[in-house]
């Protein structure tokens, strides 16, 4: 089966970024890349802050944050009054967990596709409160219907106090049926936290269409915001129960301001985040999504072919808009966290390519992303050189 042709590049898109041209940046999903226009907007805000810190922090900053939040919430399809800006998904998840007042005997249910830092946050909160963390196993090849049934069977009404599911999984690049999972949990009276780290900018679904009690997504990955910009969206019945991790001077203002205001943080990234949406819209949101997904699919095929993986054995992402794809590595390669980190570093050092490598359920996987600054030739070079590197290891 021939490799499908790559998408046509978006003219001039590569010039919008300040990435090192000697490196193939094929891992946008981990830390994103901030467009030059957004960098400059943030620097102007930093210059303003440093020119008169007292004025910057005490005269209208809360209102400026609120204005930025409303702009970002509108893009996400979320209620701005139920949205709080936070540093990242892990921080948002921690806010939710510590606001639930878990008790001994309560359970937090997750899947084995969850992000490691969120799992650590769950473990810490359970240890602190006496609650229990449970994980259900979802096969990589499970259909949406099977995912729903697996999670349904894992719910324990009366004991499960929170279900955490990913909208698009980080280690396995799999699109989960988030809205269907929320509906199943709601039938059993279980609130749901949706980890949507990769959704803003990549996936077309609005927050409202997911319907979760809690939804948290990063804007610094696929929505071109400065790093440290994420949105925690909370359904109306829960808002007064949400407390910040650190109490500061806006505590009496209620949600969302009391979560957002942390005194002397650098808020310039949040204030500059709408510029990232301007860049995305200037390129064409649908155009960017289609390009990135098609390019990731191309990269998966050419690298998969080079490693001898038949096309039908390449994991399917579960949706045409997904701009992250997995390539299984040879058996025994990168099966643990330490081994995966070592291989990622070796690929970066020897092949000048930044990729994500994960060990998941005893198998190593290469995760490739597609972004407007990438070219098909970058995946072609990796496909030529990676088999030799793996053979030498």
d(CA 75, CA 203): 12
- b or e along 364-378 (b: 16 or more beta carbons within 10 Å of the residue's beta carbon)? bbbbbbbbbbbebeb
Do 228 and 267 meet the contact criterion of CB atoms below 8 Å apart?
A: no
pTM: 0.96
d(CA 373, CA 20): 11
Cross-strand bridge partners of residue 165:
194
Closest CA to 139 of 98, 177, 174, 89: 174
d(CA 274, CA 267): 13
What does the pLDDT read at residue 251? 94
Tokens encoding 20: 């090192």
What does the pLDDT read at residue 392? 87
Contacts of 216 (CB under 8 A, 6+ apart): 86, 89, 92, 93, 96, 193, 194, 195, 196, 197, 230, 231, 232, 233
What does the pLDDT read at residue 278? 98
* Percent of the chain surpassing pLDDT 90: 96
H helical segments located in the chain: 28-31, 36-51, 53-58, 61-76, 89-99, 116-129, 144-154, 178-187, 207-210, 257-260, 268-283, 285-306, 337-351, 376-392
Phi, psi of 164 (to 5 degrees): -115, 120
Domain range summary for the chain, segments of one domain joined by +: 13-33+284-392, 38-278
Phi, psi of 138 (to 5 degrees): -120, 115
Closest CA to 215 of 183, 192, 242: 192
What does the pLDDT read at residue 205? 85
Question: Is 32 in a helix, a strand, or coil?
Answer: coil
Distances (CA, A) of 75 to 199, 206, 351: 12, 8, 37
Q: Is 241 left (phi over 0), alpha (psi -120 to 50) or beta?
A: alpha
Phi, psi of 30 (to 5 degrees): -80, -55
What does the pLDDT read at residue 296? 98
d(CA 22, CA 61): 40
In the predicted model, residues of the chain with pLDDT beneath 70 are none
Cα 151 to the center of its chain, rounded Å:
21
Do 68 and 80 meet the contact criterion of CB atoms below 8 Å apart?
A: no
Which CATH architecture fits 13-33+284-392? Alpha-Beta Complex (3.90)
d(CA 114, CA 165): 7
Contacts of 145 (CB under 8 A, 6+ apart): none
Tokens encoding 246: 């650190």
What does the pLDDT read at residue 263? 85
Class (C level, CATH) for 38-278: alpha beta
Rg (CA), the chain: 21
């Amino acid at each position: 089966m021939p490799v499908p042709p790559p998408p046509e590049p978006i003219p001039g898109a590569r010039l919008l970024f300040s990435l090192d041209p000697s490196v193939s940046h094929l891992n946008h999903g981990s830390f994103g890349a901030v467009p030059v226009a957004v960098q400059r907007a943030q620097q102007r805000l930093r210059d303003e802050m440093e020119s008169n810190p007292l004025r910057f922090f005490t005269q209208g900053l809360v209102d400026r944050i609120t204005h930025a939040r409303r702009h970002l919430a509108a893009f996400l399809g979320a209620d701005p009054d139920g949205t709080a800006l936070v540093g990242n998904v892990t921080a948002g998840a921690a806010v939710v967990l510590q606001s639930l007042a878990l008790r001994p005997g309560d359970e937090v249910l997750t899947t084995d596709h969850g992000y490691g830092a969120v799992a650590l946050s769950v473990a810490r909160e359970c240890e602190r409160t006496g609650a229990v963390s449970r994980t259900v196993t979802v096969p990589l090849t499970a259909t949406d219907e099977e995912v729903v049934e697996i999670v349904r069977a894992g719910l324990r009404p009366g004991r499960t106090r929170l279900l955490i599911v990913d909208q698009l999984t980080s280690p396995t690049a799999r699109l989960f049926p988030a809205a269907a999972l929320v509906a199943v949990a709601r039938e059993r009276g279980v609130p749901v936290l949706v980890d949507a780290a990769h959704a803003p900018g990549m996936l077309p679904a609005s927050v409202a269409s997911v319907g979760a009690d809690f939804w948290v997504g990063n804007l610094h990955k696929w929505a071109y915001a400065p790093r440290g910009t994420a949105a925690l969206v909370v359904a109306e019945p829960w808002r007064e129960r949400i407390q910040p991790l650190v109490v500061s001077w806006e505590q009496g203002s209620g949600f969302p301001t009391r979560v957002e205001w942390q005194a002397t943080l650098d808020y310039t990234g949040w204030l500059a985040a709408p510029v990232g949406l301007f860049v995305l819209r200037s390129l064409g949101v649908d155009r960017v999504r289609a390009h990135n997904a098609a390019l990731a699919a191309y990269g998966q095929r050419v690298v998969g072919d080079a490693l001898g993986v038949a096309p039908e054995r390449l994991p399917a992402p579960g949706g045409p808009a997904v701009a992250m794809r997995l390539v299984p590595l040879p058996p025994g390669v990168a099966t643990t966290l330490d081994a995966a980190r070592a291989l990622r570093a070796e690929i970066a050092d020897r092949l000048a390519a930044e990729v994500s490598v994960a060990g998941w359920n005893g198998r190593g996987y290469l995760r490739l992303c597609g972004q407007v600054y990438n070219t098909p030739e970058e995946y072609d070079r990796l496909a030529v050189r990676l088999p030799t590197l793996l053979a030498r290891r």
